[in-house]
Structure 1
Amino acid sequence: MTSETTSQPTPDQIRRAPKVLLHDHLDGGLRPGTVVDLAREIGYANLPETDPDKLGVWFREAADSGSLERYLETFAHTCAVMQTREALFRVAAECAEDLAEDGVVYAEVRYAPEQHLERGLTLEEVVEAVNEGFREGERRAKANGHRIRVGALLTAMRHAARALEIAELANRYRDSGVAGFDIAGAEAGFPPTRHLDAFEYLKRENNHFTIHAGEAFGLPSIWQALQWCGADRLGHGVRIIDDIQVAEDGTVTLGRLASYVRDKRIPLEMCPTSNLQTAAASSYEDHPIGLLRKLHFRLTVNTDNRLMSGTSMSVEFEHLVKAFGYSLDDMQWFTVNAMKSAFIPFDERLAMINDVIKPGYAELRSEWLFRQTAAATAVTSNSGSTEG
């Protein structure tokens, strides 16, 4: 491998690199100013701050506090202002715009329709408002010179009893902007097996689904998501590291579940910053993604909740580049993994990889090589004039 392909990208190159996002929560990615605007419009008076900058800081500090109660409170505020068609449309459109501005070319954004019914919307009206918002955001992004495609993942809450209903909803809108299904919420005490009827239904319909698993509860959550439910992907899956042993001499031994996940190429939706906030990892340098990358698991990089984590896809990659010395090649590897794992048809995934992602990274490498050559030429020229 030549030096030009192993160079570490600059922040600007990271931002301009084509990226693919599979794990992003709509209610966790609002602009602080939008939260303030929407709260004012509906008369919601419970925001902790009404200045957008201060509110953004509050969300990040609450998420970093180590208090589950404060962390969950952050979503209570965002969901509270996402209860009308107009609000859902605006949030979805801005989501697509923001991701495109950050260099994301394909995204699957998830939300729970059941959490947006407080002001009389039906489940169908929620889905249609969000889908229309995503399409509007794609149009605005294109007008600004950015390309993005956004699909929705409909989420059912683990502690509730509407999983089958939401799965049926996802199936009805699968050709109208909904890419698949998900379950989310507290893992402990609410195993995915509570919703087997939903997963069996989706499998009968040949539909796609991912499951939040292995973020906090550990290996049993991963095993159930795969072996009982048949998940296509794992939301987080970071605790698969518990089934991998590293000896003092560096020898790595995979347990049977870890081997299964790697052998079957099951995609893991890694969210580094979020994992630090939930104590699934102690630092970026210690995040399991480093070892899992060396072991060639099917890893993807994601944001989870951009507002609460104060993050973006570019920020996530900046942290990984700093922690592990990742190159443009590594970024492309993560990005191709994500595109391979997306819930759209194979030919469309392949087209994105060959027509958008690979050319995008090739251009960045050529740019780096040109700059290196120009710098070397300048050094040689200056050296020659000094000697003369």
Structure 2
Amino acid sequence: MTAHLPASGTPGADLGAAVRALPKVLLHDHLDGGLRPATVVDLAAQTGHVLPTTDPEALGRWFVESAASGSLERYLETFAHTVGVLQTADALRRVAREAVLDLAADGVVHAEERYAPEQHQRGGLSLQEVVDAVRGGLDEGMAQARSAGDDIRVTQVLCAMRQGDRADEVAALALANRDAGVVAFDLAGPEEGFPPSRHASAFRTLRDASFPVTVHAGEAAGLASIGDAVHRAGALRLGHGVRIADDVHVGPGGEVRLGRLAHWVRDRRLALEVCPSSNVQTGAARSVAEHPVTMLLRLGFEVTVSTDNRLQSGTSPSRELELLVREAGWTHDDLVAVTVAAARHAFLQEDERRALVDRIVRPAVSPGTARPGRHRA
């Protein structure tokens, strides 16, 4: 492969191929937001779920257009259809398997797939049966990817819903499966009016068990939400977290002063799980070009780049990175930096993270280097 990323300046026409060749680490990807449109159509036909259209291409466009309303609440409404068709073990297993294969095909070598088990019980599944079905699909996908020459590892992050009352159950579920592929707990859903402090007992249980926590914060709400996630929930990473930029103050001469919370997040190396396209859709950023992620990266925050919901944003890990190069002027070194940051903040043991950086990411991110397992003779 001869594709190259620019060290600086205007990206070349082969940018897409070069970005796809980079081994990528994905930390924030929702399983119920990453279905293939054709799979949604197929599963809906099996269950009788009514869709806006049964044409896969048109349905894919509908998801993107509906999610691009500029409102997180409207964005979340699209999940009535994806969650609606994910109420059986077979459906969950299939979607998990396909997610692994789609990510592997895009050059992802490590990913965390997150979802809320409580949203997949309408068909009678227990919480544990939901987790088992997803684990089965992930295992099948990884085995199938390996047979095709793609070395990818995918783990699970279990979400509780902010507006619900089942965080204690989900925390217990995560702990019960911590040796079976579940690596962290997340709090998702509407940010405004539903602070992490509503679920204090769940976070206390997780903290006492030394179990990692990430929290959606700083997307639809501001600094108070981030502070609650960090100080009340003990979040080690922030899902999105882009509103931390509200605590970065730029003076008339370009001088930059960080507020206390911004210093806390940066100085303690709390990773930001930034999802540029999704943030533009929900109104957390005006455009990729103006997205605060570039400023935060330049200021030394632990920036990682993810997809959030590949279906609703019509995106992929490679597309998100390519957009940052084309629209925000990112360079090859920037992509290396955020990829290594993601590897360092993956919910793995330290020796595993070191191996991910040293054996997979660093040797493979030089321009023009094909990812391991591809283009073999």
Matches within 5 A, 1:184-333: 184-333=188-337
Distance between the aligned counterparts of 1:183 and 1:302, measured in 2?
A: 17
1:326 positional shift:
1.8
Distance between the aligned counterparts of 1:359 and 1:259, measured in 2?
A: 32
Range 163-172 or range 59-68, more displaced = 59-68
Deviations 1:282-302 (A, max 9, x none): 011110011101101000000
Distance between the aligned counterparts of 1:139 and 1:129, measured in 2?
A: 15
The number of residue pairs the alignment matches comes to 363
Indicate whether 1:98 and 2:102 are aligned: yes
Q: Cα gap change, 1:268/1:68 in structure 2, threshold over 3 Å: closer, same or farther? A: closer
Q: Which residue of 2 aligns with 1:377?
A: none
Distance between the aligned counterparts of 1:344 and 1:42, measured in 2?
A: 37
Equivalent residue letter for 1:33: A
Q: Which residue of 1 aligns with 2:345?
A: 341
Question: What TM-score, normalized to structure 1?
Answer: 0.91
Percent of aligned pairs sharing the same letter: 55
1:230 positional shift:
0.9
Q: Which residue of 2 aligns with 1:374?
A: none
Equivalent residue letter for 2:85: V
Indicate whether 1:80 and 2:81 are aligned: no
Q: Which residue of 1 aligns with 2:7?
A: 6
Q: Cα gap change, 1:68/1:204 in structure 2, threshold over 3 Å: closer, same or farther? A: closer
Distance between the aligned counterparts of 2:54 and 2:269, measured in 1?
A: 46
Question: What TM-score, normalized to structure 2?
Answer: 0.93
Equivalent residue letter for 1:141: A
Distance between the aligned counterparts of 1:366 and 1:52, measured in 2?
A: 34
Is the contact between residue 153 and residue 178 of structure 1 (CA under 8 Å) also seen in structure 2? yes
Query: Which structure is richer in relative contact order (CA contacts within 8 A, separation 6 or more)?
Result: 2
Larger helix percent: 1
Deviations 1:253-301 (A, max 9, x none): 1001101111000000000000001111101111001110110100000
Range 164-173 or range 326-335, more displaced = 326-335
Distance between the aligned counterparts of 1:59 and 1:53, measured in 2?
A: 10
For structure 1, which runs of at least 5 residues remain unmatched after alignment?
Answer: 368-388
Indicate whether 1:30 and 2:31 are aligned: no
Give the counterpart of 1:123 among 120, 127, 133: 127
Distance between the aligned counterparts of 1:354 and 1:66, measured in 2?
A: 39
Indicate whether 1:55 and 2:56 are aligned: no
1:166 positional shift:
0.1
For structure 2, which runs of at least 5 residues remain unmatched after alignment?
Answer: 371-377
Is the contact between residue 5 and residue 18 of structure 2 (CA under 8 Å) also seen in structure 1? no
Distance between the aligned counterparts of 2:41 and 2:5, measured in 1?
A: 46
Give the counterpart of 1:139 among 133, 139, 143: 143
Distance between the aligned counterparts of 2:53 and 2:282, measured in 1?
A: 24
Distance between the aligned counterparts of 1:139 and 1:220, measured in 2?
A: 43
Indicate whether 1:361 and 2:365 are aligned: yes
Is the contact between residue 191 and residue 221 of structure 2 (CA under 8 Å) also seen in structure 1? yes
Distance between the aligned counterparts of 1:64 and 1:268, measured in 2?
A: 22
Q: Which residue of 2 aligns with 1:380?
A: none
Equivalent residue letter for 1:59: F
Deviations 1:45-70 (A, max 9, x none): x2001010110011011111346664
1:73 positional shift:
2.9
1:5 positional shift:
7.9
